[in-house]
Amino acid sequence: MNFLRRMFNPPVEAENTPAKDTAPITNEASSNSHGDTSTPAVHDEVALDAPSAEAKESPVEESAANEVAKAGSEPASESEAKDDSPAVEIVAHSENEVDTGELSKPIEDEEPDTSELMDDSPPRVFDQKTTAPLPATGDLTFSLYADGVTRPLPPDAVLEVTPLAHAIFGQETDVGRIRTNNQDSVYSFFATGRSADSIPDFGLFVVADGMGGHQDGEKASSITVRTVATQVLSTMYFPLISRQTLNNDVPITETLANAIQKANTEIMAHVPDGGTTLSAAVIIGDRAYIAHVGDSRIYLLHKGQIEKLTRDHSLVQRLIELDQITIEEANEHPQKNVLYRALGQNENVEVDTLTRRLPSGGLLLICSDGLWNQVSEEEITDAVLHTRNLQEACHKLVTLANNHGGVDNVTVVLLQLPG
């Protein structure tokens, strides 16, 4: 503190004193608490010259200088010696400055002026029951109140995410009311995803109806769906998701036919007395690549209409095409279950293939003859279009077939595209 006094209160020069004459000033030693007065007196001479022109122009400085001179000539009392209060600083102004007559405080006592940060309105006070008004949704900036309270952040906006539409499917198979074992086999695979790679939706749906006896039929159909699924996924789907270059020289339907031919070879090698039908569809985006052998069927349902996409490889169907019998007569024909083309009959099998763009919201129905032999196309259409979901529709179709006699195994797959 004394150091600061010396810094901001320098000694007053003699030329600032108002006296004109020179006179000795005696500073006698102040006595201590024991009355010791051995300290010799100090005699100083102060020149009392006439005040300068600058002193006359600043009356505040002249008055302050007189006080300093008077204090220096009088002994300080004991209370004043112990006073540690900060000294008053005299600020001298230049000729261009305006003298306000105010005395400034030492630097250590100065505080930053925050008046510019404050407005004239009364400060807002918030407690636990009152909250500051929130900004509009999505505005995450802070706002400083007059009392220094920051505006709380609004809650994160809840984004409503609409799921991306993709195909859905259902499947069901049943032994029926007469048979003791199920010789039908079914396989359904569907993959969908969204990424920067833009990989389309992919699906594989297979229905096989085995024949040839108690065990040979179910073995033949099982080998068929397993072999076709393995070949299609390894040659089509896995290269598709791994971004490998597909062999564009081989059409998808031909690749599917090659997989069926391999399944035929496997049946001939492992189940020589067995055979099976096959109806398969590969779905890539909105396109269906269909391969077919035998009398299982694939239908397209759209806008309340049903369309058969496959052709039965049966004796009665050939007779119908030759106009030798009618459709009504075919249903009662004693050889209606005889097939002239199926897997497991010859070393090479001829496969019907076609490509079809599926309409938005359209449905594919793949089924064994245990359904279409017992349930009419009109009943199929009504059951599918008046059911809440595809799995329930599959169950309803199987139930209809069983209610109509259930003389054969029944297998149904329903696939619906978005839209």
Predicted local confidence at residue 66, as pLDDT: 57
Predicted local confidence at residue 195, as pLDDT: 84
**Who has greater pLDDT, 399 or 59?**
399
pLDDT at residue 37 greater than cutoff 70: no
pLDDT at residue 281 greater than cutoff 80: yes
CA nearest neighbour of 354 among 397, 323, 310, 387: 310
Return the amino acid letter for 81.
A
Predicted local confidence at residue 406, as pLDDT: 95
pTM above 0.85, yes or no: no
* Protein fold of 168-416: Phosphatase 2c; domain 1 (3.60.40)
Question: What are 296-319's pLDDT values in tens digits?
Answer: 999 999 999 999 999 999 999 999
Q: Which residues of 224-240 are buried (b: 16+ CB within 10 A; e: fewer)?
A: bbbbbbebbbebbbeeb
pLDDT at residue 23 greater than cutoff 60: no
What integer is the mean pLDDT of 91-107?
46
Question: What are 137-166's pLDDT values in tens digits?
Answer: 444 444 444 555 566 656 554 444 444 478
Question: What are 116-136's pLDDT values in tens digits?
Answer: 545 555 555 444 444 445 445
* Residue at token pair 């005889």: 338
Task: Provide Rg for the chain, Cα atoms.
Answer: 53
Question: What are 367-382's pLDDT values in tens digits?
Answer: 999 999 999 999 999 9
Predicted local confidence at residue 90, as pLDDT: 45
- The 8 Å CB, 24+ separation contacts for 48-57 are 48/17, 48/18, 48/19, 48/20, 48/21, 48/22, 48/23, 49/14, 49/15, 49/17, 49/19, 49/20, 50/18, 50/20, 51/16, 51/17, 51/18, 52/15, 52/16, 55/16, 55/18
Predicted local confidence at residue 346, as pLDDT: 93
What integer is the mean pLDDT of 195-219?
89
Per-residue confidence at 280, pLDDT binned at 50, 70, 90?
very high
**Burial degree of 256 (CB within 10 A; 0-12, 13-18, 19+):** buried
As a whole number of angstroms, the distance between CA 262 and CA 257 comes to 9
Question: What are 169-194's pLDDT values in tens digits?
Answer: 999 999 999 999 999 999 999 999 88
CA nearest neighbour of 213 among 202, 221, 201, 225: 221
Predicted local confidence at residue 155, as pLDDT: 59
Please state the domain extents for the chain: 2-109, 168-416
**Who has greater pLDDT, 21 or 273?**
273
Contact of 361 with 286, CB cutoff 8 Å: no
Per-residue confidence at 256, pLDDT binned at 50, 70, 90?
very high
As a whole number of angstroms, the distance between CA 204 and CA 289 comes to 10
Proportion of the chain above pLDDT 70, given as a percent: 59
Most confident among 60-64, 109-113, 295-299 (mean pLDDT): 295-299
